């Protein structure tokens, strides 16, 4: 159980959602349980900050019952839904409330890790409020000024009784205290591997505005022939794309852009046209199709019909003989994601399967959706973190290219006919 | 230097100076050496500069704690000189010798000394990251580091009691002038405060990727006594045929080894042993015989020999003589066409090492190249030596961290097996030979030559 701690507008929900997205992506089933949501379901309409006054007995009763409902749902998530990590997103600002959670966890045999966000910079707090609080369902009927005033009063209600985690008194607990959006961290008693990964992740994320550009290499010679994998150079259309990409990037006037490619010719050739330094990552290489490398889908159907069907049955977990699976890909892309989190403006020139994995991370797509995400050639995706998610802008650079996207065919049975298997294969030479 | 491109991440734009801070016997040297070993293994050229060493070279014989008394003018002069000499060597390493990280291992307990270092770093364009060690109350950890001191050259002529008494007085000399880092005054500095080596950390202003990796590593190491057992799978069917790679099962002798391994492990009475294998048949079959639950890691799979998979060395010589020669030239960096290099292997084994650091007693059943990489990490072997480390079949290596290094015990389980070790040949082709060979290769597919880069220098 991950338990968030902190006054309102300290980024708890932002951290909860981002962390949950990361853990799910690396294959750890995780879910957020946001107390505010429970409260909104019970108290249909939010009037004003008075609900949160510490002397409001009625409200206190409701809030306590919401907390216990959330904990019940967490227990359910672990036992009935195979969840591995639950993030309890609430203020949890009193020692009493935290004590109750610890007892609950102890009874059930759950490990507890606290994440406390401490911030005393009024500018950061106001920016948080403006970004996410004012668009909350609570403030639908308020105008901006009133909402801000009410929310600040709401924070005051908590301040009185706020007891932060204490280095001495709480030294038997496992926790990380984050000060002022990451300038300082206090880490205590990390118990296991997953907590260690969580701490590492939290220490690498930041909130500085930036954009991540994802693109595939330009069309390659093997793309034209409808063959998968390999390590060929760009076709003439691909070369045109590389030049168009350079122009597009220049047009965006991006500050301090880092450019990353894989170790394969087609991404390197694409980056060369940009005329700026770029870094090569082996981890960004396309998925290894093992025995199927450089085959067309027709050839795969002819030589390995059973494998072809198995792949359509579970495209995420299926591993090519002597090759890789999407699941393996996610594993080897994890350091890339970690470094992307640390960086600011980055352009990643990669490959279809790789781009699907990266996109799935930023857009919180499930393992089922991931292998079918549309990542066409000659299109740049610009991802800009916004509020709790990611804004996506798609730029097709108007250079013709083959389609390499193969949808899931209707019949995935091993005994299917060749035409059924090849139903969704895109056209090629 | 190509370093940044090779690893894919630009580890540092400018060199980093790591500065330890803390009273004697807080584990500064232990952490400095361990961190240096880790950074070198992941290919970040790192070196530690221990001021105590400089002092010992200067003052040949250590008499007593009196040298460290704050009112010992002569002593202070020598110590300052040593610190400056060390800093000079740091400058040389980072500026002229291609070093990327220097660990300045000394007490650095006064604000004045630290400010000198900061100015030095600023003048030379080095980033500074401080490692500040202290203990809150755990007496037993403190004692671990005291024991390390007793093995120091300073105390060869003393008995244990005398040494401990003298050392305690030495610590007292520092205590009076000790000015710890201040969370307020020093809030613009980048540092990690390590409290109780493994319990609590305060991390302030991590500036870049390498500092983030350093922090992650430091937060995962511990000093609880434990042992790591490394061994290869039992002899496999392909081993017998002299073929590399592949995914075959155990031979009859390999199965015998697996049984012996099971017995050996039982006899060792290891507390809470974790067993790890790769995802290849031969390690899994070996683990099955040990009879305890085991975890499979894809990262522990043998090096991918690409087009040479399942070939014998004779066949490789026949079909890919150029590749074979290039591999012998630089076995660490050479990448099989459509396969991997030892360098790639180290990169994919890094999470394994990190988890090994977190764990306590572990048995890792892996493969020859993989075991060489892991061994090189624990025994601080260079990239040159790594690919030639001897890791014979049917032999278990028991590694027990000790003092500043690792004790190795080799246990041969007396089950015969083929030898799979290929030494570096004494006659290696010169560049001229290789160029001639390359030019005569008309049948060579450009595909293979294009996939890896080789530079003739």
The radius of gyration of chain A from alpha carbons, rounded to an integer in Å, stands at 25
Decide if B158 is inside a domain. yes
Q: Are A359 and A375 in contact (CB under 8 A)?
A: yes
pLDDT of residue B3: 33
Pair (B210, B244) in one structural domain: no
Q: What is the pLDDT of residues B327-357, one digit of tens each?
A: 999 999 999 998 999 999 999 999 999 999 9
**Higher pLDDT among residues B13 and B81, named by residue:** B81
Q: What percent of chain B has pLDDT over 90?
A: 73
Share of residues in chain B with pLDDT > 70 (%)? 89
Q: Do A196 and B220 touch (CB under 8 A)?
A: yes
Helices (H), B330-452: 342-358, 368-379, 431-440, 446-451
Mutate which of A182, A190, A343 to disrupt the B interface (most B C-beta within 10 Å)? A190
pLDDT for B456 beyond 90: no
B352–chain A nearest CA distance, Å: 12
CA distance A235 to A222: 9
Whether B5 shows a pLDDT value over 80: the answer reads: no
Residues of A in contact with B204 (CB under 8 A): 183-185
Cα of A146 vs its chain's centroid, Å: 33
Q: Active-site residue among B256, B302, B323, B343? A: B302
Shared-domain flag, residues B214 and B235: no
Residue B454 has a pLDDT of: 34
Please enumerate residues of A whose Cβ is less than 8 A from a Cβ of B.
Answer: 167, 171, 183-190, 192-193, 196, 199-200, 203-204, 231, 260, 265, 279-284, 328, 331-332, 335, 339, 342
Q: Is residue B3 part of a domain?
A: no
Query: B71 and B132: one domain?
Result: yes
Q: Quick one: pLDDT band at residue B439, thresholds 50, 70, 90?
A: low
Same structural domain, B381 and B316: yes
Q: How many CA atoms, within 13 angstroms, populate the side-chain half-sphere of residue A172?
A: 3
**What's the gap in Å between the CA of B448 and the closest CA on chain A?**
10
Residue A218 annotated as lining a ligand binding site: yes
Whether B8 sits inside 8 A of A186 (CB atoms) is no
Within-domain flag for B447: no
Q: What is the pLDDT of residue B6?
A: 37
Choosing from B233, B323, B340, B394, which is the catalytic residue? B233
Asked whether residue A135 is marked as a ligand-binding residue, the answer is no
* B9 to A187: CB separation less than 8 angstroms, yes or no: no
Host domain of residue B427: 228-436
Please give the interface size between A and B, counted as residue pairs whose CB atoms are below 8 Å apart.
74
- Contact assignment for B298 to A328 by CB distance below 8 Å: yes
Q: Residues of B forming the annotated binding site?
A: 232-239, 282
Minimum distance, in Å, between the CA of residue B416 and any CA atom of chain A: 30
pLDDT in tens, B71-88: 999 999 999 999 999 999
**B381 and B391 in contact (C-beta within 8 Å)?**
no
The predicted pLDDT at position B99 comes to: 95
A216 is in an annotated binding site: yes
Q: Is A286 a catalytic residue?
A: yes
Residues A77-101: tens digit of each pLDDT:
999 999 999 999 999 999 999 999 9
Residue of B nearest to A264 (CA): B451
Query: For residue B9, what pLDDT is reported?
Result: 47
pLDDT of residue B438: 60
Distance CA(A208)–CA(A255), nearest Å, equals 13
A311 appears as a binding residue in the annotation: no
CATH number for B399: 3.40.50.1240
Contact list, B295 vs chain A (CB under 8 Å): none
Strand segments (E) across B127-250: 127-134, 191-195, 200-204, 228-232
Judgement on whether residues B386 and B283 belong to the same structural domain of the protein: yes
Question: Residue A136's pLDDT is what?
Answer: 86
Residues B42 and B156 in one domain: yes
Burial class (CB in 10 A: 0-12, 13-18, 19+), A254: middle
Query: Which of chain B's residues have a Cβ under 8 Å away from the Cβ of A265?
Result: 450
Judge: A193–B10 Cβ closer than 8 Å, yes or no: no
Question: Could A231 and B447 be called an inter-chain contact, meaning their C-beta atoms sit closer than 8 Å?
Answer: yes
CA-based nearest distance B239→chain A, Å: 19
What's the pLDDT at B424? Answer: 86
Query: Given an 8 Å threshold on Cβ–Cβ distance, is A279 in contact with B5?
Result: yes
Residues of B in contact with A185 (CB under 8 A): 201-204
pLDDT at residue B455 is higher than 80: no
B213 CB-near residues (< 8 Å, 6+ apart): B42
Boundary of a domain, candidates B219, B246, B268: B219
ipTM of the complex: 0.87
Final residue before a domain boundary, out of B187, B219, B251: B219
Would you call B233 a catalytic residue per the annotation?
Answer: yes
Candidates A26, A166, A199, A330: best to mutate against B (most CBs of B within 10 A) is: A199
Q: Tell me if B111 is assigned to some domain.
A: yes
Q: Of B5, B200, B450, which is closest to A187 when you measure between CB atoms?
A: B200
Contacts of B451 in chain A (CB under 8 A): 231
| Mean pLDDT value of segment B87-102 | 96
Q: Which of A81, A145, A172, A217 is catalytic?
A: A217
CB contact under 8 A, A281 and B8: yes
In a domain, B457, yes or no: no
Q: Which helix (H) or strand (E) holds A172?
A: none
Report, as an integer, the average pLDDT of B36-65.
93
Q: Is A393 annotated as a binding residue?
A: no
* Residue B187 to residue A167, Cβ atoms within 8 A: no
Contact A325, A319 (CB under 8 A): yes
DSSP, residue by residue, B78-128: HHHHHHHHHHHHHHIIIIIS---EEEEES---SHHHHHHHHHHHHHHT-EE
Instruction: Share the mean pLDDT of chain B.
Output: 89
**What's the total number of domains in chain B?**
2
Q: Give the CATH number of the domain where residue B195 resides.
A: 3.40.50.300
Q: How many CA atoms lie less than 13 Å away from A395 in the CB half-sphere? A: 17
For residue B340, being part of any structural domain is answered with yes
CA distance A10 to A180: 9
CB contact under 8 A, B203 and A203: yes
- Identify the band that residue B437 occupies on the pLDDT scale cut at 50, 70 and 90: low
Contact A188 B347 (CB under 8 A): no
* DSSP designation for A375: -
**At which of B190, B219, B248 does a domain end?**
B219
Q: Which domains does chain A have, with CATH numbers?
A: 2-203 (3.40.50.300), 212-422 (3.40.50.1240)
For A310, the enclosing helix (H) or strand (E) is helix A305-313
* Long-range contacts (CB closer than 8 Å, 24 or more residues apart) made by A391-396: A392/A363, A395/A248
Identify which of B8, B203, B347 has the shortest CB distance to residue A279.
B8
Q: Are residues B288 and B172 in the same domain?
A: no
Chain B positions with Cβ closer than 8 Å to A: 4-5, 8-10, 187, 199-206, 209, 212, 215-216, 219-220, 298, 344, 347-348, 355, 358, 447, 450-451
Nearest CA in chain A to B197: A189
Question: pLDDT tens digit string along B175-231?
Answer: 988 999 998 899 999 999 999 877 899 999 999 999 999 999 999 999 899 999 999
Q: Do A200 and B216 touch (CB under 8 A)?
A: yes
* pLDDT of chain A, 429 residues: tens digit per residue: 999 999 999 999 999 999 999 999 999 999 999 999 999 999 988 888 999 998 999 999 999 999 999 999 999 999 999 999 999 999 999 999 999 999 999 999 999 999 999 998 999 898 888 888 888 888 888 888 888 899 999 999 999 899 999 999 999 999 999 999 889 999 999 999 999 999 999 999 998 999 999 999 999 999 999 999 999 999 999 999 999 999 999 999 999 999 999 999 999 999 999 999 999 999 999 999 999 999 999 999 999 999 999 999 999 999 999 899 999 999 999 999 999 999 999 999 999 999 999 999 999 999 999 999 999 999 999 999 988 889 999 999 999 999 999 999 999 999 999 999 999 999 888
| Same domain, yes or no: B106 and B193 | yes
Give the dihedral sign, CA A250/A254/A255/A259.
negative
Residue of chain A minimizing CA distance to B219: A196
Chain B partners of A199 at a C-beta cutoff of 8 Å? Answer: 219
pLDDT tier for residue B446 given thresholds of 50, 70 and 90: very low
pLDDT tens for B256-278 read 999 999 999 999 999 999 999 99
Subunit contact A282:B8, Cβ cutoff 8 A: yes
With b for 16 or more beta-carbon neighbours within 10 A and e for fewer, the A275-313 pattern comes to eeebbbbbbbbbbbbeebbebbbeebbeebbebbbbbbe
Our CA-based measurement puts residue A108 at a distance from the nearest CA of chain B, in whole angstroms, of 24
B178 and B306 in a single domain? The answer is no
Helix (H, G, I), strand (E, B) or coil at B175: helix
Q: How far is B89 from chain A (nearest CA, A)?
A: 31
- Which pLDDT belongs to residue A47? 86
Residue B65 lies in a domain: yes
pLDDT at B448: 36
B188 and B259 both lie in a single domain: no
Residue of A nearest to B280 (CA): A322
- Based on the domain organization, do B338 and B371 belong to the same domain? yes
The verdict on B344 and B383 lying in the same domain is yes
Contact A174, A114 (CB under 8 A): yes
The answer to the question of residue B5 being in a domain is no
For residue A188, list chain B residues with Cβ-Cβ distance below 8 A: 199-201
- Helix, strand, coil percentages, rounded to 5, for chain B: 45, 15, 40
pLDDT at B17 over 70: yes
């Amino acid at each position: 159980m991950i338990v968030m701690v902190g006054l309102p507008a300290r980024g708890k929900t932002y951290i909860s959602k981002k962390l949950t997205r990361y853990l799910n992506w690396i294959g750890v089933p995780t879910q957020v349980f946001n107390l505010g949501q429970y409260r909104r379901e019970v108290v249909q309409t939010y009037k004003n900050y008075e609900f949160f006054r510490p002397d409001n007995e009625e409200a206190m009763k409701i809030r306590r019952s919401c907390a216990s409902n959330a904990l019940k749902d967490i227990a359910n998530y672990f036992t009935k839904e195979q969840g591995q990590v639950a993030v309890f997103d609430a203020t949890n600002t009193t020692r009493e409330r935290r004590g109750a959670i610890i007892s609950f966890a102890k009874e059930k045999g759950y490990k507890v890790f606290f994440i406390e966000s401490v911030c005393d910079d009024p500018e950061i707090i106001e920016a948080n409020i403006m970004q996410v609080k004012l668009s909350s369902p609570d403030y639908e009927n308020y105008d901006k000024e009133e909402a801000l005033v009410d929310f600040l009063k709401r924070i005051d209600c908590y301040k009185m009784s706020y007891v932060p985690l204490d280095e001495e008194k709480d030294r038997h607990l496992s926790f990380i205290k984050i000060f002022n959006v990451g300038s300082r961290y206090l880490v205590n008693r990390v118990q296991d591997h997953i907590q260690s990964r969580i701490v590492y992740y939290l220490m690498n994320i930041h909130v500085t505005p930036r954009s991540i550009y994802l693109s595939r290499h330009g069309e390659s010679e093997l793309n034209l022939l409808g063959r998968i994998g390999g390590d060929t150079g760009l076709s003439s259309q691909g070369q045109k794309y590389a030049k168009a990409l350079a122009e597009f990037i220049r047009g965006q006037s991006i500050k301090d852009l880092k450019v990353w490619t894989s170790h394969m010719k087609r991404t390197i050739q694409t980056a060369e046209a940009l005329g700026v330094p770029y870094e090569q990552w082996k981890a960004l290489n396309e998925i290894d199709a093992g025995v199927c490398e450089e085959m067309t889908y027709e050839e795969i159907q002819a030589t390995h019909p059973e494998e072809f069907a198995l792949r359509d049955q579970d495209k995420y977990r299926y591993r090519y003989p002597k090759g890789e699976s999407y699941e393996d890909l996610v594993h080897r892309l994890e350091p890339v994601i970690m470094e992307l989190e640390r960086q600011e403006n980055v352009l990643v020139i990669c490959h279809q399967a790789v781009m699907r994995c990266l996109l799935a991370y930023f857009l919180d797509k499930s393992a089922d959706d991931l292998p079918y995400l549309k990542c066409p050639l000659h299109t740049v995706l610009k991802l800009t973190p916004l509020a709790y998610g990611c804004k996506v802008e798609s730029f097709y650079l108007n250079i013709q290219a083959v389609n390499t996207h193969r949808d899931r065919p209707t019949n995935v049975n091993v005994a299917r006919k060749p035409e059924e298997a090849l139903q969704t294969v895109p056209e090629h030479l | 230097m190509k370093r940044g491109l090779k690893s894919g991440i630009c580890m540092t734009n400018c060199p980093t100076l790591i500065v330890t801070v803390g009273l004697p016997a807080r584990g500064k040297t232990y952490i400095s050496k361990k961190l240096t070993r880790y950074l070198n293994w992941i290919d970040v050229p790192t070196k530690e500069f221990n001021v105590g060493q400089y002092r010992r070279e200067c003052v040949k014989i250590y008499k007593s704690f009196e040298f460290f008394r704050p009112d010992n003018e002569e002593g202070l002069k020598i110590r300052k000189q040593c610190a400056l000499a060390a800093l000079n060597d740091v400058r040389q390493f980072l500026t002229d010798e291609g070093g990327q990280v220097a660990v300045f291992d000394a007490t650095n307990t006064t604000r004045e000394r630290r400010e000198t270092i900061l100015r030095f770093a600023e003048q030379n364009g080095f980033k500074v990251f401080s490692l500040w060690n202290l203990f809150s109350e755990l007496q037993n950890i403190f004692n671990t580091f005291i024991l390390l001191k007793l093995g120091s050259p300073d105390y060869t002529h003393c008995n244990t009691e005398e040494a401990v008494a003298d050392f305690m007085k030495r610590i007292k000399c520092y205590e009076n002038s000790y000015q710890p880092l201040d969370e307020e005054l020093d809030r613009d500095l980048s540092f990690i405060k390590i409290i109780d080596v493994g319990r609590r950390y305060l991390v302030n202003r991590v500036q870049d990727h390498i500092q983030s990796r350093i922090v992650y590593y430091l937060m995962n190491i511990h000093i609880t006594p434990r042992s790591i057992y490394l061994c290869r799978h039992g002899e496999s069917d392909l081993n017998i045929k002299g073929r590399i790679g592949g995914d075959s099962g155990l031979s009859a002798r390999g199965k015998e080894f697996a049984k012996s391994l099971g017995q050996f492990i039982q006899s060792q009475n290891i507390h809470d042993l974790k067993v790890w294998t790769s995802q290849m048949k031969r390690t899994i079959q070996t683990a099955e015989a040990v009879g305890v639950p085991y975890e499979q890691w894809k990262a522990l799979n043998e090096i991918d020999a690409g087009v040479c998979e399942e070939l014998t060395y004779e066949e490789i010589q026949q079909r890919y003589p150029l590749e074979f020669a290039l591999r012998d030239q630089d076995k660490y960096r050479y990448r099989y066409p459509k396969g991997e290099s030892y360098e790639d292997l180290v990169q994919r084994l890094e999470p394994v090492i990190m988890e090994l650091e977190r764990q306590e007693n572990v048995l890792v059943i892996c493969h020859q190249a993989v075991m060489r990489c892991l061994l090189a990490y624990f025994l601080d072997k260079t990239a040159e030596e790594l690919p030639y480390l001897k890791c014979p079949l049917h032999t278990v290596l028991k590694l027990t961290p000790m003092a500043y290094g690792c004790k190795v015990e080799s246990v041969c389980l007396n089950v015969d097996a083929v030898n799979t070790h290929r030494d570096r040949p004494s006659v290696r082709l010169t560049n001229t030979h290789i160029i001639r060979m390359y030019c005569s290769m008309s049948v060579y597919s450009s595909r293979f030559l294009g996939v890896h880069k080789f530079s003739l220098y």
